Every structure is written in C-alpha cells, then in structure tokens.
Chains A and B, each alone.
Chain A
C-alpha cells in the first residue's frame, strides 16, 4: 500500500520544547517537502529536499530544521525558536522536483 504517512496526527508542544514531526513515503520519490498551513492562508514552504543528504530552505524556514538521511524519510523539527508554531503541517513528495507533488495526511500542532 503505497503512500505518504505522517505522524502523529495531533501534537502538543509546551513552551521551550522542540518537537519532531515524522514524514515517511514508500513511493520511491526523490523530492520531499514540508509546508505549513494557517487558517485563511495558502500553503507556505518551510523546507524541501531534492535528493538524499541535501535540503534547502523554503520561504519560512526560521525556527525549523530538517534532515534527509534516507530517501523515504524527511522529519521536521519545530524548535523553541519558532514562536508561533500552531498550524497544520503538511508533508509532500514528488518523483523529482519537476513532477506533481502529493500530500500526506498532515499533522496538527498545538501549543499548550
């Protein structure tokens, strides 16, 4: 059963805490992406990776970090430096950067 999985579905963060969102795909896609969605706003790109062991900042990378040690995995860490982390986080992947992006089910992050 191919697809993109994200976990957890809901995540709660305390002040000053780093949290990590998981994104895994078994589609053999080279490129992976992290977006943030806030109410009334479009999706905004946080980080993307076109190939293993390489990633680039998107439009709103401050307060976030990523790694791409394996082709199928692209975890996102929301650090304590991100002062407004409450949002719906979406992971996507594509065969390569020129191809269509497909989305995982998302993780909703809330601040306690």
Chain B
C-alpha cells in the first residue's frame, strides 16, 4: 500500500464548477497535511496546509481533514482555467530521524471552458 494515495486523473471540470481532489494516507501518526499545486514543467507551490480535523478555508480553496478515516481533500470553488495543474498531497509524519514529508503522485486537474 502506498503511503499517500491520489487518483492520477485527469479530473475534468467545467469552468465555474467545484473541483474535489482527494487523498488518503496510511500512517495514523501523521500530523500535518499539505496541498501543493504544480504547473507543467514548474516546481510545486504551496496552496494550503491543515493540521486539525475539519475544514479550513482560504479564498476559493477549502481543505478538509478526517483523521479517523485518514482522508484529506481539497475543494476548489468557481474553478478557473488557470487552476488547471497537478495537485500534490503531502503528509508529514514523525520518524526516528525527525519529520518526514511524503508526497502522493498527484492528481491532474483540467478546467474546461
């Protein structure tokens, strides 16, 4: 089982719709959760992070965390063509050597006109 799993997509949504991106993780000791956006050929940029169960909103983005189900999601409201990118879920866990950030393989989002 992969430590952090994401559906590779592509996930296609029409402009103005809500895009829902999902991520599951295997380590129950995971402490913090991050969403990065990566445009083709570019480096990842941080969208949001979440530590506590529940929802966290920032503009058009909402991160949702359910530690009991080991599930974290990212909702993008009013999707725009500029949101078309790969979204990487990353999970931080404590290891013997310190904190480790483990990435999923990413979900490709396509926002269509």
Contact = CB atoms under 8 A, between A and B. Distances in A.
Contacts of A41: 105
Contact of A56 (B46, B49, B97, B101): B97
Interface residues of A, number: 19
Contact of B42 (A42, A45, A101, A106): A106
Interface string A84-112: 00000010000001101111111000000
B25 interface: no
B65 interface: no
Given A40-B105, A44-B103, A102-B46, 8 more contacts: A42-B88, A42-B102, A42-B105, A43-B44, A43-B90, A90-B44, A101-B101, A105-B43
Interface of A: 33, 40-45, 50, 56, 90, 97-98, 100-106
